[in-house]
A and B are shown apart, each in its own frame.
Chain A
Amino acid sequence: MKRLSWFNAVSLTLGFAFLYIPMVILVIFSFNESKLVTVWAGFSTKWYGELMQNEAFLNAAWVTIKVAVFSSTIATVLGTIAAYVLVRGGRFMGRTLFSGMIYAPLVMPEVITGLSLLLLFIGIGLDRGVFTIVLAHTTFAMCYVSVVVSSRLVTFDRSLEEAALDLGCSASEAFRLVTLPIIAPAVISGWLLAFTLSLDDLVIASFTSGPSATTLPIKIFSAVRLGVSPEINALSTIMIAIVTVGVITASLVTKRQVAKQKREEMEAVRN
């Protein structure tokens, strides 16, 4: 096996240091005793305690999770349908417009998406709150879901669906019994992506939320505008921990599944 050249080793080390040191510092200083975030004054978990007492943050977190669950679930349903229609729908009136509307939100600056949705909600007299944020998040997240799902559908062996039809399935049975179970991993990762995007979003939520509904990113943003605070560090640490555990578990699970599948295929060939 070839060893890494020193150049590659150095660039990888520096690169990953650049990516991870800021987060490591953030996490370390969430356990700082002092209110000053840049001076170490001993270990303490008091900021976590204070965070748990902070009603406003807890409420915002609750709103954010609600929004994320609803919007990502609706977005997954709509996005999967949209992907299916794009890949399998054949020609229909306005197909180009449709695929344009799927791809455009991906590159649309969030400020524009937010602004336009706000003007719509005002225009039709919809009160802004959790409902409008869900509508907004669903709209842009469904586009991401449909891109993820359609990239899976493109490589999907169409003869599997034909086989299902051939064996007596109606079109909807074929989708439910064959297509959906097979593309399920892509649908799930689409859901996860939509969920994360919704959790993260500041700009669109700022435009489409009302006084009754404040999401966590909005809360964090208004807090950090005033400067660094240990409470935010604690909150960030919790969020980073959740994501890290989630991503590592997911990658371990897939790794194990791939390894298992490979092993079984090898055995099948040997027999």
Chain B
Amino acid sequence: MIHFQNVTKRYGDFTAIDDLTIGIYEKEFYALLGPSGCGKTTLMRMLAGFETPSEGTIHLAGQDIAPVPPNKRAVNMMFQSYALFPHLSVWENIAFGLKREKMPKHDINDRVEEMLRLTRLEQFARRKPHQISGGQRQRVALARSLAKHPKLLLLDEPLGALDKKLRQETQFELMDIQEKTGTTFVIVTHDQEEAMTVASRVAVMDHGKIIQVATPDRIYETPNSVYVADFIGDVNLIEGTAKPNGSDSYAMSWHEGHEPLAVQSPNGFSDGQKCQLAIRPEKVSISAVKPETADNAVQGKILDIAYLGNISTYHVELPTGAVIKAQAANTRRIARRAFTWEDTVWLSWTATAGVLLAD
């Protein structure tokens, strides 16, 4: 439905968006994820109409939207600060956009009531924004931006101002509302957990470029670069050189005198190419003796143990000096823990647990 074609945006010497081409489908929940300053907000503001691309075109439902001013676009935005009008009540805030459309009065009434029901704000309709809590304000902002039946709803860090617990509840609420209304949502966030939870597809951005676009599980399991692997969740990186030994299968030599590591990876590498093995801590298991069946096993020494309640993270130093994190669920009481500092342990993982990434 939305198509960015070779879009570039410059502010003076600074390039905020660099020759970017992406497509967003209808009824999709699309997340733009990246650190602050990566250009995700600029991208969103171009969709809303507050910025125009320096080069390239943006098509919305087949129409070039560059010449359409923000107040004529079938796109609505939910602002990071919510931007609720402080002098208007909740009801008037939601009705604001409808009144601009010169909608008949009873239609406005019906639509506002509908939005209030959807966001469970019925009893707050007469209140002013300062008289309601942060979570309620967030829902008013959502109701207001959805009231006009936009083809596309933009959400700029919509949950950034809420505390953690409320944020998690609200994430599910957002997904629920997106499903009910069938509107295309584009969310901008720097919180990878949030992007993974709500979105059907995630685009990871850095320095004005899209690094990878994929479903949350693919982004997590098979990142296409060290940057993505590192940005999403926790990751261990082991350097080495690749040697193909079958289709999508490699032997990676990583340290002299040690057996090469067996890896199954979709990314292609040539013989002797430098690469990094990226592997998530929860996919590394830890044991006192060398496991018989594991594809890969390396020995190391425990440097540190971080006890997190449900799990513990072990920092284990390999012979190369690199430190690998391994997570284990705490199924037993902490006093019965099998390992302690300075213990020599075995780390093991399967060939499909990690991916090979170019440097």
Contact = CB atoms under 8 A, between A and B. Distances in A.
* Pairing of A with B: yes
Contacts of A170: 71
B252 to A, nearest CB: 49
A93 B79 CA distance: 32
B54 to A, nearest CB: 17
Interface residues of A, number: 24
Contacts of B231: none
Given A159-B79, A160-B83, A162-B70, A167 B132 contact: no
Interface string A237-271: 00000000000000000000000010011011101
Contact of B81 (A157, A182, A267, A268): A157
A181 B96 CA distance: 14
Given A166-B48, A167-B144, A170-B71, A268 B96 contact: no
A164 B69 CA distance: 12
B148 interface: yes
Contacts of A181: 87
Contacts of B96: 164, 167, 177
A85 interface: no
B91 to A, nearest CB: 14
Contacts of A165: 49-50, 69-71
B87 A182 contact: yes
A168 B133 contact: no
B43 to A, nearest CB: 16
A167 B133 contact: no
Contact of B85 (A160, A168, A261, A265): A160
B132 to A, nearest CB: 5
B50 A162 contact: yes
Contacts of A271: 133
Contact of A268 (B50, B79, B130, B145): B130
B148 A168 contact: yes
B8 interface: no
Contacts of A182: 85-87
Contacts of A264: 128, 130-131
A117 interface: no
A152 to B, nearest CB: 13
Q: Is the interface of A mostly helix, strand, loop or mixed?
A: helix
Interface string B235-256: 0000000000000000000000
Given A160-B85, A167-B148, A168-B148, A173 B100 contact: yes
A173 B101 CA distance: 13
A169 B100 contact: yes
B299 interface: no
Interface string B66-87: 0001111001110111010111
Query: Residue among A157, A168, A267 with the most chain B CB within 10 A?
Result: A168
Contacts of A157: 81, 83
A21 to B, nearest CB: 43
Interface in A180-212: 181-182
Contact of B71 (A160, A166, A265, A268): A166
B74 to A, nearest CB: 10
Contact of A167 (B76, B86, B131, B136): B76
Given A267-B131, A268-B133, A271-B133, A166 B76 contact: yes
Nearest to B129: A268
Contacts of B75: 166
A176 B145 CA distance: 20
Contact of B132 (A162, A163, A178, A268): A268
B130 A261 contact: yes
Contacts of B72: 168
Query: Residue among A159, A163, A267 with the most chain B CB within 10 A?
Result: A163
Contacts of B260: none
A168 B101 contact: yes
B97 interface: yes
A178 B69 CA distance: 18
Contacts of B101: 168
Contacts of B97: 166-168
Contact of A159 (B80, B144, B148): B80
Contacts of B130: 261, 264-265, 268
Interface string A132-168: 0000000000000000000000000101101111111
Contacts of B127: 268
A167 B81 CA distance: 16
Nearest to A161: B83
A160 B96 CA distance: 12
Nearest to B134: A269
B71 A168 contact: yes
Contacts of A265: 130-131
Contacts of B145: 166-167
A261 B76 CA distance: 30
Nearest to A168: B100
18 contacts: A157-B83, A162-B70, A163-B83, A163-B144, A165-B50, A165-B71, A166-B48, A166-B71, A166-B77, A166-B145, A167-B76, A167-B145, A168-B71, A178-B85, A182-B86, A264-B130, A264-B131, A265-B131
Q: 10 shortest A-B CB distances, which residue pairs? A: A167-B97, A168-B100, A163-B83, A159-B83, A159-B79, A165-B70, A264-B131, A181-B87, A160-B83, A168-B71
